Structure 1
Amino acid sequence: MARRNSILTKREREVFSLLLKDLTTKEIASALFISEKTVRNHISNVIQKLGVKGRAQAIVELLRLGELSL
């Protein structure tokens, strides 16, 4: 499923795919068997990579880049 030149790691893609489904940080952590802090770290890393200001902008940019799909 992952694209060859993806800017996202496998785990970042999993986190953002669940964010797209409107899951909370706590729900994502539970689904992926990781801590909420780790979920927040993945989100922060992606926001930094993209140079955007928040989760919503990150999602919009990832959709625009074809990194995520609805």
Structure 2
Amino acid sequence: MALYDSNQHRSILTNRERQIFQLLVEDHSTKEISIQLSISEKTVRNHISNTIQKLGVSGRSQAIVELLRLGELSLN
């Protein structure tokens, strides 16, 4: 089963996951993201871990590359 089907144009990320990874792309730390989104650092790390697991990659950097490739993130 494909994680992303371009024919359906459905995102594999939740809105919160997208917010977090967009902030990571903009070089924000986990702590900065937690403050900006008013959530705990643990919650930020959980969202990152969930996304890494969804994508089947081994870390944040690989997740970012894959999300850029899929068009889920942009380098504004």
CA distance in 2, matches of 1:68, 1:17: 6
- Poorly superposed stretches of 4+, deviation over 6 Å: none
TM-score (norm 2): 0.87
Identity %: 75
- Alignment partner, residue 50 of structure 1: 55
Residue 74 of structure 2: SS of its match in structure 1? coil
CA RMSD, 1 decimal: 0.6
2: distance between equivalents of 1:16 and 1:7?
13
Where does structure 2 lack aligned partners over 5 or more consecutive residues? 1-8
Q: 2:3 maps to what in 1?
A: none
For the pair shown, the structure with the greater C-alpha radius of gyration is 2
User: Which residue number corresponds to residue 35 of structure 1?
Assistant: 40
Q: How does 1:1-70 map to 2 (within 5 A)?
A: 4-70=9-75
Which runs of 5 or more residues in structure 1 are unaligned? Answer: none
In structure 2, distance between residues paired with 1:46 and 1:24: 17
Distance in 2 separating the partners of 1:28 and 1:69:
17
User: TM-score when scaled to structure 1?
Assistant: 0.94
More helix as a share of residues = 1
